Structure 1
């Protein structure tokens, strides 16, 4: 009776390990980008829950927003990426920014993020 071996060869194992390594490396580049995006969304949500935010001037609102981002170590959002426009009794704050991270050689990972939040007296009703 002849027995055949079954399983993965060394070369097959090395190839699987290489593919897994590439995905782990890409994850190490992408996860911080999304972590920062969720920090931006959280800061916007906190701004909307702040009482009297709709009566503040735009400069003060932006300063409060960037203070919250500073605490979260979100440093890819610049003042030029934040738009604040008057709408009704409050404001609409829009954050639109892009993050570019080098991947391998001349390949980059680019993430484009956009978040919007209504800042008004009744912000909890939106």
Structure 2
């Protein structure tokens, strides 16, 4: 005797097929791959921002000459293993009571075959006697 009053009920099973699973896996793998390419670029950018912020808190930085400030900046970046920021990427502008330091650089990483990921980064920091207020 069939259950449920003699009516045999067929239930359709829903779920992920093997092909669907492989597609989802491929998409997640590609997203992880792109993330691995982008993460170091942004990590370096935040190291630059951190070095700039640290310089703004350095005593007497507003009275230093730009070469000394740049030297202190690159020492801080060296600790964070920054390799894309070069001295030609650093510019100084005279400001009220000190300097404004601008860092502009580009990072290019190969992605797939002939496609690259390019990041353009700009950071700016006021280095003044009354304390640096960051600008972006």
For this structure pair, what is the TM-score category when the shorter chain's length is used for normalisation? Answer: over 0.9
Q: Over the residues paired in the alignment, what is the CA RMSD in angstroms?
A: 1.1
Q: Which has the larger radius of gyration?
A: 2
Q: Does 1:113 align with 2:124?
A: no
Q: Tell me how far 1:3 sits from its aligned partner.
A: 2.0
Residues 1:124 and 1:87: Cα distance change in structure 2 (over 3 Å): closer
How many residues in Structure 1 have an aligned counterpart in Structure 2? 126
Q: Does 1:11 align with 2:12?
A: no
Normalising by structure 1, we get a TM-score of 0.97
- Residue in 2 aligned with 1:82? 90
Normalising by structure 2, we get a TM-score of 0.90
Q: Distance in 2 between matches of 1:74 and 1:123?
A: 25
Residues 1:46 and 1:36: Cα distance change in structure 2 (over 3 Å): same
Q: Does 1:72 align with 2:80?
A: yes
Q: Distance in 2 between matches of 1:124 and 1:114?
A: 17
Q: Choose between structure 1 and 2 for higher RCO, CA contacts under 8 A separated by at least 6 residues.
A: 1
- Residue in 2 aligned with 1:23? 31
Q: 2:64 aligns with which of 51, 56, 64?
A: 56
Q: Distance in 2 between matches of 1:78 and 1:125?
A: 24
